[in-house]
Structure 1
Amino acid sequence: MSEPLERDVQPVQKLLTLLENLGGERYGGEDVSQLEHALQCAMLAQENAAPESLVVAALLHDIGHLVNPNDEGAAAAGIDAAHERTGAAYLARWFGPAVTAPIAQHVAAKRYLCQAEDGYFQRLSDESVRSLAVQGGPFSETEAEAFLSRPYAEAAIALRRWDEAAKDPEKVTPSLGDFRPLIERALATRQ
């Protein structure tokens, strides 16, 4: 009977500790840390009445940067470390597709928005422009159409919008612990 409890509690603490311990570093060339970025993104998801699973995805969307030792400086070196796939795969042992699919697709959503929405590219931060170049650049029209047909594409687009907005060094956010119950519920339901 202790196994389900361990399944629910240990991953949550592991994820919180990972964000606390490794998330304090600056986020690429941004003016915020990984942790500040994650908290801002999750807060924006909550402010937009996103389902809890998408709030959790927003909080954890860049976990791939933290769990891949080869990620540091990859974009600046012209390498796509595929943090979105790394993060989704890492989280898939605990969460279902309502959390992992938007994470796996948030880079594709950036590529989509750069193709489909006038002015989106111009709103990207310098770091997002640099990473976009190694991630394949804006989608073609055909790629954009194919992206929209994927399950969770709309959730990934919403996540991507919050991702770009979550880079304010002055923003006050809830604490990491405030999101613990949401993570626990997403784990319990494998959302």
Structure 2
Amino acid sequence: MVSQDAGRNVSWTAMEHGTAEDYQVLMPWHYAHTRSRLVDNLLDILGCLRGPTLGYQIDRYDHSLQCATRALRNGESTDLVVAALLHDIGDSFAPENHSAAAAAVLQPYVDERTHWVVAHHGLFQGYYYFGHLGGDRDAREQCRESPHYDACLDFCENYDQNCFDPNYPNLAAEDFRPLLDEVFSRPSQVPATAPLQTPR
């Protein structure tokens, strides 16, 4: 059994041996800790995009800041600005499906349109370069019937493909913290995998 004292741990090493009393303490602790660190952890993941430019004029980190800065300055919704900041975080840990990875992180907290835009932005970005690599630049047309098609078109045109300018005055990541705090403090719209309670 585990105590409310954070210095005490359960006695077992396999979850099958846990008791109801153990989990009634463990799960709220875990949930409260992870939620309290969520924005910091996301900014850390965003920081993983710092590094080589890989042939572009700026690295992926500055690209992300530029996307979000342009969206904020254009008066876009809080959800879309946060999405612009985080849309490429999957590059650092899911290069084969970076759009889906970023969208999964955002889905519990943002509106349906923003989630869809992030999930599909990689395909829509292909309009600008697939043809140069022997692919179909119009692959995005398979999504034409989506009510969010135009929103994704707009996102890629105004807050993604054009955000590689080394002379653009980006805001700093910390400037977006109030927006991140707002979005990620919302109750999850996606059902939790286990019953959760905040610690008493």
Please say whether Structure 1 and Structure 2 have the same fold, judged by a TM-score greater than 0.5. yes
Give the structure-2-normalised TM-score. 0.67
Residues 42-57 of structure 1 correspond to what in structure 2 (within 5 A)?
A: 42-57=68-83
Asked which structure has the greater CA Rg, the reply is 2
Percent identity of equivalent pairs: 26
Equivalent position amino acid for 2:50 in 1: G
Q: Which has the higher contact order (CA 8 A, sep 6+)?
A: 1
Q: CA deviation at 1:30?
A: 1.1
Task: Check whether the contact 1:54–1:98 (CA below 8 A) recurs between aligned residues.
Answer: no
Q: Which residue of structure 2 lines up, in the alignment, with residue 12 of structure 1? A: 39
Q: Which residue of the partner structure matches residue 34 of structure 1?
A: 60
Q: How many pairs align?
A: 160
Shift >4 Å, 4+ stretches: 1-8, 93-96
| Structure 1 residues 67 and 132: alpha-carbon distance in aligned structure 2, compared to 1, 3 A threshold | farther
Instruction: Write the distance in 1 (CA, Å) between the matches of 2:131 and 2:67.
Output: 18
- Provide the C-alpha distance between the structure 1 equivalents of 2:143 and 2:151, rounded to a whole number of angstroms: 12
The aligned counterpart of 1:75 is none
Structure with the higher helix share, 1 or 2: 1
In the alignment, does 2:112 pair up with 1:86?
Answer: no
Note the C-alpha offset of 1:39: 0.4
> Contact 1:39–1:174 at 8 Å: present in 2 too?
yes
In structure 2, distance between residues paired with 1:132 and 1:106: 18
List gaps (5 residues or longer) in structure 2: 1-27, 190-200
Distance 1:41 1:171 in 2: 10
Tell me, yes or no, if the aligned pair for 1:9 and 1:184 is still in contact at 8 Å.
Answer: no
- 1:79-113 deviation per Cα after TM superposition (whole angstroms, max 9, x unaligned): xx2321232234445555344321111123234xx
Contact preservation (8 Å) 2:130, 2:136: no
> Once superposed, what is the RMSD of the aligned Cα atoms?
2.9
- Aligned residue among 92, 107, 110 for 2:125: 110
Alignment of 1:186 onto 2:168: no
Cα separation, 1, equivalents of 2:35 and 2:111: 13
The normalised TM-score by structure 1 is 0.70
